[in-house]
């Protein structure tokens, strides 16, 4: 008789796209997990940043460019564009 053991399959990290277009961050609220990748997409003709109010991250995204970053710490982070402070969003990161 052949016995098969359960195999543990590691969870795959997700890639989450956040778009900056027409001076708006979309979606404005995102849930993610530690290990996920955020793909910051700037569709505007102006540079933008994704700057955490708590200092956790500060990403500059050139016009018409994409930048990727991997999430390394759990928590809820309010962030905004340093160049256009009216552009605001929230990123909730689970462990």
Q: What pLDDT does residue 8 have?
A: 41
| Whole-number pLDDT of residue 1 | 37
* 23-to-41, 42, 50, 65, 92 alpha-carbon distances in Å: 12, 10, 12, 15, 22
43 contact partners, CB below 8 Å, separation of at least 6: 19, 20, 21, 64
What's the pTM? Answer: 0.85
Distance CA 23, CA 11 (A): 34
pLDDT at 36: 96
| pLDDT of amino acid 11 | 63
Q: CA neighbours within 13 Å on the CB side: how many for 33? A: 7
> What superfamily does domain 15-94 belong to in CATH?
Cupredoxins -  blue copper proteins (2.60.40.420)
Q: Please report the pLDDT score of residue 47 as a whole number.
A: 98
Q: Name the residue ranges covered by the structural domains of the chain.
A: 15-94
**Tokens (6 digits) for 32:** 């993610």
Contact between 56 and 77 (Cβ < 8 Å): yes
Question: Taking the chain (95 residues) in consecutive chunks of 10 residues, what is each chunk's mean pLDDT?
Answer: 40 91 98 96 98 96 97 96 98 96
């Amino acid at each position: 008789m052949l016995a098969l053991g359960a195999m543990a399959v590691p969870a795959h990290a997700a890639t989450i796209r956040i778009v900056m277009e027409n001076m708006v961050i979309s979606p404005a609220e995102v849930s993610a997990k530690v290990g996920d990748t955020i793909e910051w997409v700037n569709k505007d003709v102006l540079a933008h940043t994704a700057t955490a109010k708590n200092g956790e991250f500060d990403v500059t995204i050139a016009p018409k460019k994409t930048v990727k970053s991997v999430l390394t710490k759990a928590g809820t982070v309010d962030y905004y564009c340093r160049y256009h402070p009216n552009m605001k969003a929230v990123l909730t990161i689970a462990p």
